[in-house]
Amino acid sequence: MENYTYNTEIDPVYINYAIEYITYMERRKAMKWIDMHCDTLSEVVKNPEYGSLKRNRLSVDIERLKQAGAAQFFACYVNAADYGEKSEGLTAYADSRVQVKPEDRERWDAAYEAVLEMTAYAGEECGAEFQIAKTSADISSNRMGNSSCTNSTAGILTVEEGGVLNGSLSRLDELYEKGVRLVTLTWNYENCIGYPNSRDKNIMKKGLTDFGIQTVERMNELGMIVDVSHLSDGGFWDCIRYSRRPIAASHSNARSLCRHPRNLSDEMLRALGENGGAAGLNFYSAFLRGKSGASPEDIAEHAVWMIGKGGEDTAALGTDFDGFNPAALPAGVQGVQDMEKVWDAMRKKGITPRQLDKIAYGNVMRVIREVWK
């Protein structure tokens, strides 16, 4: 054996590297996040064969959320055209000059009842492992990535299709009592609140109805987040104008990177940042790159763009899990169990640990604290 002289002093560079590596691994284990939008609740209610909210074969369930240390916004999504007798579609509602068919008003009422059924279903799922969060403290006191805490996972109820109000503000109060804390003002139809996003420039220019403005004001009073995803551009700017609280685009990306009307323009991102609101990164490939085959890197690119235009307090998470065919998800991301691939892609794009924490958790939590009562 040869004789060697060993240096017993440890190079500070290696000490720093070891500390950074240990910190990184701890962050991986403790990463907490809040997702502003998934359609899992409506899917399991309409299709019991998929499983339950607790355990299913979809992208999101309580068991995986608890393991991930995440809080989840669950949308009570309804398509009013699915209720009542089939026809070519709903008659225009937002335009007061159009006489709405009685059967279409009945459809909106039936859709509202379906929403109430979904809130009841979610309530039945509550127990030791899952609770509906109604205050910011309800989220903070839940597990949220702290392995030393054994409390339940937090779920937040939302409504995706404000048309179910059917011109009645009292329904907002009822939804609030049921635990709903965010309402997506429109889906893909004109409704009593306003107009949806569209490739028709004339429709995109249209704003909120008088009732829509009243809805935004009442949501501010109650402490409900105004969600502008799916809304026309004119409706977005009306929400910026009339809301006294931060608003959210729960599941919308950057239009400059993917020119789809569901995404937000640079001007919208800047206004959302100035408003104190947040935009949830949507994982649907068509909203990430305009076609199938998106990757976690595409999500990260939209995050970087949002930070550049709206500031680091704007970008958040709004996966839209279970809201479309899973084949349209980014490669390697099939559910909440795969979120680490998204975080890794963001780190590789140069997103800092502080910014990552804000995207994953901080920005949505700030909006919640500023809006909820």
pLDDT tens-digit map of 184-231: 999 999 999 999 999 999 999 999 999 999 999 999 999 999 999 999
Q: Which two tokens stand for residue 360?
A: 């994953």
pLDDT score for 93: 67
> End-to-end distance of the chain based on CA atoms, in angstroms?
74
Burial degree of 308 (CB within 10 A; 0-12, 13-18, 19+)? middle
pLDDT beyond 70 at 88: no
Task: Specify the DSSP element, H or E, that contains 315.
Answer: strand 315-317
CA distance 201 to 191: 18
- Residues 314 and 269: their CA atoms lie apart, in Å, by 8
- List all residues 6 or more positions away from 212 whose beta carbon is below 8 Å from its beta carbon: 94, 185, 192, 193, 194, 235, 238
Average pLDDT over residues 120-147: 83
Q: What angle do CA 68, 304, 298 make, to 5 degrees?
A: 70
Chain segment 336-345, per-residue pLDDT in tens: 999 999 999 9
Distance in angstroms (rounded) separating the CA atoms of residues 145 and 26: 11
Residue pair 297/349 in contact (Cβ under 8 Å)? The answer is yes
Confidence (pLDDT) at 87? 54
CA dihedral 26, 142, 131, 49 (to 10 degrees): 0
Phi, psi (degrees; rounded to nearest 5) at 73: -80, 125
pLDDT at 92: 61
pTM of the model: 0.89
Tell me the two tokens of residue 74. Answer: 């669950």
β-strands 278-281, 33-35: how paired?
Answer: unpaired
Nearest to 60 by CA among 317, 359, 371: 317
Q: Which residue, among 306, 324, 325, has the nearest Cα to 315 in the 3D structure?
A: 306
pLDDT, tens digit, for every residue of 39-61?
Answer: 999 999 999 999 999 999 999 99
Residue pLDDT, tens place only, 290-323 = 999 999 999 999 999 999 999 999 999 999 999 9
* Nearest of 28, 60, 159, 139 to residue 362 by alpha carbon: 139
d(CA 184, CA 159): 6
In the chain, the amino acid numbered 212 is: G
- The answer to whether 321 and 364 are in contact (CB under 8 A) is no
Per-residue confidence at 4, pLDDT binned at 50, 70, 90? very low
What distances in angstroms separate CA 210 from CA 80, 95, 217, one per listed residue? 21, 11, 11
Nearest Cα to 366, choosing from 311, 293, 301?
A: 311
CA distance 163 to 165: 5
Where exactly are the structural domains of the chain? 32-371
Q: How confident is the model at residue 22 (pLDDT cuts 50, 70, 90)?
A: very low
Match 């403005």 to its residue by tokens. Answer: 213
Which tokens go with 363?
A: 């920005």
Pick the closest to residue 202 from 212, 190, 192 (CA basis). Answer: 190
DSSP-derived letter for residue 254 is B
SS3 248: strand
> How far apart are alpha carbons 141 and 147 in whole angstroms?
13
Q: What is the pLDDT of residue 348?
A: 98
User: What's the pLDDT score for residue 105?
Assistant: 85
Tokens (6 digits) for 259:
């020119």
Q: Is the pLDDT of residue 150 over 70?
A: no
Q: Which residue has the tokens 């309409």?
A: 46
Percent of the chain with pLDDT over 70: 84
Among 252, 341, 262, which Cα is nearest to 305's? 252
Return the pLDDT at 140: 81
Superfamily of segment(s) 32-371? Metal-dependent hydrolases (3.20.20.140)
Tell me the backbone φ, ψ of residue 195, rounded to 5 degrees. Answer: -120, 150
What six digits make up the tokens of 158?
A: 């939302």
| Alpha-carbon gap, residue 254 to 265, rounded angstroms | 6
